[in-house]
């Protein structure tokens, strides 16, 4: 489906693609590489397109690459699509060797963040992190077909037991909730412009997409933690108007691959023209004590960091890598340490982050206007 041409960049407002080309580029609302067929013509300039593509390309290649090959999603270089992918196979003598598995039988698994609602839609900001990961598997892998019913979803923590029984190990899927969140933000922003027009609402997502990296994305991008059954169509997306904090917001609900049971995501794309957006932005201040699940896993203890460490970070008891930043670990969640790859890690939850050059009780507060700036404790 093609919407009416916008004739200006929906991210920065430019009216030409570049200095050498006048006509703006078309924007796929859901990335073309994920099978999206909603197109917003003449809607992006070259510079914004380049910035947006960084997040989308990571998600499509690093997070969803093997899955895309298996499902047969579009690619701009079909001749380069691999027919097999590598895996480690246990041999009878106990050794391992690399084998090539056909795409159709490859044990693809995804790590997709399962997020709470955006903070802007909550009556009070969250005081804990939600780091639950959602796993998705192909139907036809021999490790869970055969005499047992075919299932698409496998409960958290069971993947490696299943692969162990089959004598197969595969690289763990990569994930980056921040870049994944930016891809969701781009989908929501483009869809809102397509449905309402670029002048009929006040966008909130453009700084997240092409602006300052410290934009508190968790205020605007989130999801539904509860699982829902798979349903048609392939991608589900809709635009609603909701009232929160006395203001009317435009909220986009996105469910990529809804026919395969993927998680639901919720994105606040804008505010009604009746409400000055600067007042809304004042509400979106990153909390100094809690860093939500959009923050990437932080460096090892003792290394420099660019934002203030939390006081209740959970550290893997095996390798001292920070696994969860701030707050509490919700019950019933299976978490893997991204450093030592340990599943169901035991946490040193009574030992907070040890700042090597300051006492925890005397850590200076950061200025609210730049909560992720570098800081030094003297």
Rounded Cα distance, 202 and 276, in Å:
8
* pLDDT reported for residue 340: 64
Assign 340 to helix, strand or coil.
coil
* pLDDT reported for residue 29: 97
Residues 6 or more apart whose CB falls under 8 angstroms from that of 188 comprise 205, 221, 252, 254, 267, 268, 269
Residues 6 or more apart whose CB falls under 8 angstroms from that of 345 comprise 316, 317, 318, 323, 335, 336, 337
Rounded Cα distance, 215 and 29, in Å:
22
Query: Is 44 in contact with 165 (CB distance < 8 Å)?
Result: no
DSSP string covering 261-289, please?
TPPEEEEEEEE-TTS-HHHHHHH----SS
Rounded Cα distance, 190 and 187, in Å:
5
From the number of C-beta atoms within 10 Å of its C-beta (0-12, 13-18, 19+), residue 115 rates as: buried
Tokens in use for 97?
A: 């060797």
Q: Please report the sign of the dihedral spanned by the C-alpha atoms of residue 53, residue 54, residue 59, residue 62.
A: positive
Q: What phi-psi label fits residue 145: left (phi over 0), alpha (psi between -120 and 50 degrees) or beta?
A: beta
CA distances from 10 to 42, 44, 188, 267, 322 (A): 9, 6, 12, 17, 38
Rounded Cα distance, 153 and 260, in Å:
9
C-beta neighbour count of 332 within 10 angstroms:
7
> Chunked in runs of 10, what are the mean pLDDT values of the chain (378 residues)?
94 92 95 94 95 90 83 81 81 79 73 79 59 43 36 46 64 72 95 94 88 70 82 92 90 92 91 75 48 36 34 56 50 55 51 33 38 30
* pLDDT reported for residue 101: 79
C-beta neighbour count of 208 within 10 angstroms:
24
Q: Which sequence spans correspond to the domains of the chain?
A: 297-378
Compute the CA torsion angle 259, 262, 263, 267 (nearest 10 deg): -70
Angle at 94 between CA 89 and CA 97, to 5 degrees: 35
Q: Please report the sign of the dihedral spanned by the C-alpha atoms of residue 258, residue 262, residue 263, residue 266.
A: negative
């Amino acid at each position: 489906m093609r919407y009416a041409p916008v004739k200006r960049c929906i991210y920065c407002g430019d009216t030409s693609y570049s200095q050498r080309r006048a006509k703006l580029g078309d924007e796929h609302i859901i990335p073309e590489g994920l099978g999206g067929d909603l197109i917003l013509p003449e809607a992006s300039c070259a510079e914004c397109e380049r910035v947006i593509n960084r997040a989308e390309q990571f998600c499509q290649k690093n997070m969803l690459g093997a899955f895309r090959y298996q499902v047969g999603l579009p690619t701009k270089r079909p001749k380069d699509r691999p027919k097999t992918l590598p895996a480690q196979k246990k041999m009878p003598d106990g050794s391992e060797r690399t084998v090539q598995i056909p795409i159709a039988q490859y044990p693809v698994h995804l790590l997709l963040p399962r997020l709470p609602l955006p903070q802007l839609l909550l009556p009070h900001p969250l005081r804990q992190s939600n780091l639950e990961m959602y796993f998705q598997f192909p139907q036809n892998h021999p490790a869970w077909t055969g005499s047992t019913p075919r299932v698409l979803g496998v409960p958290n923590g069971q993947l490696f037991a299943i692969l162990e029984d089959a004598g197969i190990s595969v690289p763990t899927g990569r994930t980056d909730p921040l870049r994944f969140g930016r891809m969701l933000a781009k989908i929501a922003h483009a869809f809102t412009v397509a449905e309402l027009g670029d002048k009929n609402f006040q966008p909130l997502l453009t700084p997240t997409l092409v602006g300052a990296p410290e934009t508190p994305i968790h205020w605007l991008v989130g999801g539904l933690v509860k699982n829902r059954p798979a349903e048609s169509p392939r991608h589900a997306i809709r635009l609603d108007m909701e009232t929160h904090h006395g203001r009317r917001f435009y909220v986009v609900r996105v469910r990529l691959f809804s026919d395969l049971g993927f998680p639901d995501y919720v994105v606040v794309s804008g505010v009604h023209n009746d409400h000055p957006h600067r007042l809304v932005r004042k509400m979106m201040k990153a909390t100094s004590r809690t860093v939500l699940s959009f923050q990437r896993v932080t460096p090892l203890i003792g290394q420099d960091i660019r934002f203030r460490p939390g006081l209740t970070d959970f550290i893997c008891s095996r390798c001292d890598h920070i696994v969860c930043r701030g707050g509490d670990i919700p019950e019933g969640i299976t978490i893997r340490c991204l450093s030592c790859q340990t599943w169901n890690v035991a946490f040193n939850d009574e030992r907070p982050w040890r700042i090597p050059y300051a006492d925890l009780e005397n850590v200076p507060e950061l200025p609210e206007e730049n909560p992720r700036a570098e800081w030094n404790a003297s």
